[in-house]
Structure 1
Amino acid sequence: MDKQLLNLTFTVVPGSSDEDSAFEDGSSYATSVASSVYNYRFENGRRYHAYKEGEYPLVSDRVMRDRIPPNLRFIIDDCEATWSFSSKFDYIHARTLGGSIKDLPRLLKQAYEFLEPGGWIELQEYETTSKTDDNSFPEDSALLRWVENLNKAAAKFGKPTNIAPELKQHVMDAGFTGVEDFVYKVPMTPWAKDKKLKEQGRFNQLAMLDSLQAYTLHLFTNVLGWSVEEAEVYLVDVRKELMDPKIHMYST
């Protein structure tokens, strides 16, 4: 699916903004969440957010919620709406925004405006590609076709998945200074000999196997026009490649 990990950190100056949010009282970003955001819709046996329905194509069901740490508190809002926080931040962190953001430059500009002078932003993003150094993908790879279709569907949906290659430039265009860009080669399955890389590959393989359906169903059926049955059958071959130790896949 993906894997260009970009760690970006920078220094900043201030600004401000305002609009409706999912909070009962927009004057405080820590107030209780409006009851409407707890409404959900169901599609193909998976649960999706009903808040700003159709804007976010990934699932939000029991499978996902069972993994939430006990000390984590969510504040639910649309980060692409005009920010209305009552105070600014010293540090803003975002991870894997690909596939969920329509206007990345605007989002980064708002982050810039809501950081205190000298504040920091850190972004971690995977590039939506799969590669090998030894041409070990099969000639008509199901996984490579899945990546191609995912990127095509997400772009057509208006929220591209493969944002990592342009991320650094977008950050600088938003006004950030002192930008640092760290790129890592990450194995997607546990084929590497190095113990640490093998462990990374094992976790990535598990994450991919577990999230394939969540990434696929809505975009492939609603955007590309596939049937649910076609998508599910297709994913069987994608999973087979993810489990094949002879394919030395990674992303950069």
Structure 2
Amino acid sequence: MSATEPAVVETSTPAPVNGVGADSVVEVDDADDAGFAYGDDDSDSAVSASITSSIVNYEYANGRRYAGYRRGEYLLPNDETEQDRLDLLHHVFLLLNDGKLLRAPISPIPQRALDIGTSTGIWALDFADHYPSSEPSWVPPNIKFYVDDVEKDWTYGPDEAFDVIHARQMGGSISD
């Protein structure tokens, strides 16, 4: 493939994913992600810093955890059980799409990608692994998570273009 031909993003291991074949049973890994913390490196963004505390003010109902940020607008839980389901669904999408992260043609060396409705971040992490070019040489790592509202005014200025914008499973998340 030449540098001018569009590329389709594929994971490094197109189906089966993580050793899971079509006849395999997928077990949920309940191991705690002790090394992960939201908001560790968000000091450079007033937008992310201003709402970081509100994303951990959870609501609990019927034995499940729900988001406290914009209470009641996202109806599904956001506890570990739901996160496991969403990660499993990501793997289902990969299997259905022959291991491709997206179907649209993109530059073979994208610099900036935006994942709307990021959820657990698994798609963004896979994209960052597959496209190291999305890492600026002056700021590692090549991925940052921000909490923003897709229904509010665009956070990014006209000089902050993206090479890839990804969104999926947003039904029920956008009011209009």
TM-score, length basis structure 2? 0.37
* Greater radius of gyration (CA): 1
Specify which structure has the higher proportion of strand.
1
